[in-house]
Amino acid sequence: MAVACKGVARTCLITDCVSGKHAGVVDGAPRLADGTLAGSVLSMDRAVANVMRFAGVTLQQAVEMATLSPARAMGCDRAKGSLAPGKDADVVLFDQGVNVSLTLIGGEMAYQQ
């Protein structure tokens, strides 16, 4: 509904993903000892896959909602959100199943599967 109402450029994918190490995961959600919800276990690659599946957007549109749209909303799109000369060279590569295989931060490898 958000994508249909606001469009890709004004919809941001976000996650408050936690590792689950410091909270128990109950029914797919991390919880504190008293049962209080403590974030989610949704990773950004899963958010991209979910919006493609449930909102029917293309991979390009889903990636824009995970990158450029949030950078614009935060006012940091001069350095973040897309690949262009002078930007920070933060890159995520994933396979066709939208599983992350490589992450570069500032052009330096931060993660490789």
Residue 9 forms part of a structural domain:
yes
Closest by alpha carbon to 91, among 111, 72, 113, 70? 111
Domain extent for 18: 2-80
What does the pLDDT read at residue 19?
67
Question: What is the full per-residue pLDDT of the chain (113 aa) written as tens digits?
Answer: 999 999 999 999 998 877 656 568 888 888 888 888 888 888 899 999 999 999 999 999 999 999 999 999 999 999 999 999 999 999 999 888 899 999 999 999 999 98
**Is residue 16 annotated as part of the catalytic site, yes or no?**
yes
Please give the pLDDT value at position 30: 85
The b/e string for 43-68 (b: 16+ C-beta within 10 A; e otherwise) is ebbbbbbebbeebebeeebbbbbbbb
3-state secondary structure of 105: strand
- What pLDDT is stored for residue 41 in this prediction? 85
Whether residue 88 is contained in a domain is answered as: no
Asked whether residue 106 is assigned to any structural domain, the reply reads no
Residue positions counted in the chain: 113
